[in-house]
Amino acid sequence: MKHEAQDAIDAVLAVDRLVHEPARLAILTVLSGAELVEFGFLETVCRLSKGNLSSHLSKLEAAGLVSIDKSFRGKRPLTRASLTDAGRDALERYRAQIAALIESAPPRN
């Protein structure tokens, strides 16, 4: 019994915290559905402010999970993000871990 509890805690602690944060999880999930995503779409669908989205994208880029391409369309800055292979692996791993955790949880009465 003690072992099971210990294993469950270990499984929770093993979850990638960079991916686990809700806003970043939403960003990664959106990116997983496409090859390249413009900032405006991420902002709208993830319901994040520009600053918040920018900060999360920087963290994901620093960890190598996301690749950012900055350019200009006319005079307007254009930011596009895509998921790297490492990012895709991290998201898959995270989803598998969460699914396993939920499966192992005791059923509610």
Partner 1 sequence: MQTTTDPLARLAENTGRYARYSRSAGGLSLVIGGILCLAAFTIGATVELTPAWRYALVAAPLLWLASKELLRAFYYQRTGAVRERLSDRQRRGHFWMVAYLAAMALLIIGGVAWTAGARAWQWPGIAYIAIVAAMPLVAARWFWSTGDFLVGVLLVCQAAVVIVGLHYPWYWILVAALYAAIAIPTGWREHRDYLRLRDELGLRDATRGKAADA
Q: Give me the residues that bind partner 1 (CB under 8 A), please.
A: 25-26, 29-45, 47, 80, 95, 98-99, 102
Burial of 90 (C-beta count, 10 Å sphere; 0-12/13-18/19+):
buried
Tell me whether residue 9 or residue 41 sits nearer to partner 1 (CB atom). 41
In angstroms, give the least distance from the CB of 27 to partner 1.
10
Tell me whether residue 7 or residue 92 sits nearer to partner 1 (CB atom). 92
Closest CA to 97 of 33, 2, 25, 48: 25
Tell me whether residue 55 or residue 82 sits nearer to partner 1 (CB atom). 82
DSSP structure class, residue 29: H
